[in-house]
Structure 1
Amino acid sequence: MLGSAFLALMLVGCASAPPQRADAPAPAGPIEPLVVEPAPAPKPTQEPAFTGPISLANTEREYRRDGAHHLYGRYAERVYPGKLPPLLQAVGVMRVHIGSRGDVRHIEWMRAPDHVPHVKAEIERLVREASPFPAPHQLGSVVYTETWLWDRSGRFQLDTLSEGQLDRSAPRPVVAPKPAPNTRPTTRKTARSRPAVHTRTDARKATDSAAATRVAQDAATAGSSP
C-alpha cells in the first residue's frame, strides 16, 4: 500500500506543469535627448526721463558758456561782483568731462593751483556738486575747458563770464583827509582902516597953500594986463 501511494505521488509530480519563467524585459528604445530651454533674457531697465537742464550747443565753445551760466546760477552768492582785484589768490585751468545726461564723469587739471591745496579741493567740490550740468543734447557728451579766477575772499569768477580785472598801475582816487575831531576852523582877522585924523596944523598948512596959489594967480593976471 505504501508502494502504491509513493507511485501515485510520482505520477502527480510528473503530471504538473513546470513553473513558468518571468518574461525578460523588452529591449529599451533610443533615449530622447532632454531639451533645456534657456532662461529668458532680462528686460532692459528703462532709464527715468531726464528732467534737468538741456544744452543745444553745437560746439565745445558754445557749451562752455552754458556750463559757466550753470555754475553762476548754482553759486550766485559766491560770484565776485564787478572787476577783480589786480592780485588773485589762485588761477586754475580745468577740463571737465560731461556725460550725455549732464553727469560729471571726470575732472582734469591743465593748470592746477597746487600752491593753495584747499582752493584746488574747493573748486573740484563745487564742480562735482553742481552736477547735473546741462545735458549736451546735440553733442551727446562733451569735454570743455574753463579757467577759474579765485579771490582771497573765497569768491570767484569764470574766465568765460569774467568782468575783467583792475589795472595794477592805475592811479588810485585821491581822498581828502578828514578834519580832526573837536577842532574849530581858524578865521583870519582883517585890520580895519583907521579914519583920517585932521589936526590944526594940517588945516593951517592947507590954508596957507591956498593963499599962496591965489597970490600967484593975481600976479600973473597983473603982469599980462597992458
Structure 2
Amino acid sequence: MATVLGAGLVAACTVQKPDTQANRDATAKEIIEQVKTTPDGTSTANSLDDYKADLARRISQVNSTKVHIERPQALLRSVIVIKYVVDKDGNLVRSEVVRTNKDKVTEATALTTLRNTAPFPKPPIALLSNGRIELSETWLFNNDGRFQLRTIAQPQKNE
C-alpha cells in the first residue's frame, strides 16, 4: 500500500502544466533569473565554453516545447550548425546557417529558437572582441522535429 501511495505522490508531483505562452514565459523568466549574472546583467561565465553552455541552456529552456529531453536517436533527421554574433549588451546581432542537410523546416526552427531567446545575458568583457562575441551551436534534430543543442546534449543512441 505504501508503495502505491508513494508512486501516486510521485506521479502527482510530475504533472505538467498546460503548454501555454504564459507558462512558457514564466518558465523563461525563472531560468533568466537563475542565470548567474552581475547586477548589470553580465554573465559570470569564466570562459567561452561556459558562456556558450549558459546560452545553450537558456535556448533550451525558453524553447522547451521543441526540445527532445531524452538521448537523441542514432540516425538524426537533421544537423544544423548556426554561427551567431552577440554584442556587449547581449543582443543577437547576426546569425547564419553554416551547415545543413537542406531541411528547410529544421533550419527555420533552429534560427527561430535562437532569435526568440535573445537578448542573452551580456557576455563577460574578457570574451569580447570589438564589442562582440562570435559563437556557433549545433542543433541535433530527431525525426519528430524536436532538438537538443550539441553543447549540452546527451550522447546519441547507438541504434
| TM range, smaller chain | 0.5 to 0.7
Aligned-pair identity in percent equals 27
Instruction: Give the aligned partner of residue 64 of structure 1.
Output: 52
**Cα distance, 1:57–1:156 mapped onto 2, change above 3 Å:** same
**Cα distance, 1:156–1:52 mapped onto 2, change above 3 Å:** farther
Q: Which structure features the higher share of strand residues? A: 2
Instruction: Give the aligned partner of residue 119 of structure 2.
Output: 132
Q: 2:91 & 2:142 partners in 1: Cα distance? A: 27
Residue identity matched to 2:137: E
Q: Does 1:105 align with 2:108?
A: no
Instruction: Give the aligned partner of residue 150 of structure 1.
Output: 141
Q: Which structure features the higher share of helix residues? A: 2
CA contact (8 A) 2:87 2:133 kept: yes
Instruction: Give the aligned partner of residue 119 of structure 1.
Output: 106
Instruction: Extract unaligned runs of 5+ from structure 1.
Output: 1-50, 169-226
**TM-score (norm: length of structure 1):** 0.48
- Structure with the greater alpha carbon radius of gyration: 1
**Cα distance, 1:53–1:71 mapped onto 2, change above 3 Å:** farther
**Cα distance, 1:66–1:125 mapped onto 2, change above 3 Å:** same
Q: Which one has more relative contact order, counting CA pairs under 8 Å at least 6 apart? A: 2
How many matched pairs? 117
Q: Secondary structure at the match of 1:65?
A: helix
**Cα distance, 1:164–1:109 mapped onto 2, change above 3 Å:** same
**TM-score (norm: length of structure 2):** 0.66
CA contact (8 A) 1:61 1:144 kept: no
Q: 1:155 & 1:64 partners in 2: Cα distance? A: 20
CA contact (8 A) 1:70 1:134 kept: no
Q: 2:124 & 2:74 partners in 1: Cα distance? A: 39
Residue identity matched to 1:156: F
Shift of 1:134: 1.4
1:25-79: CA deviations, max 9, x gaps? xxxxxxxxxxxxxxxxxxxxxxxxxx88531234322211111011122012222
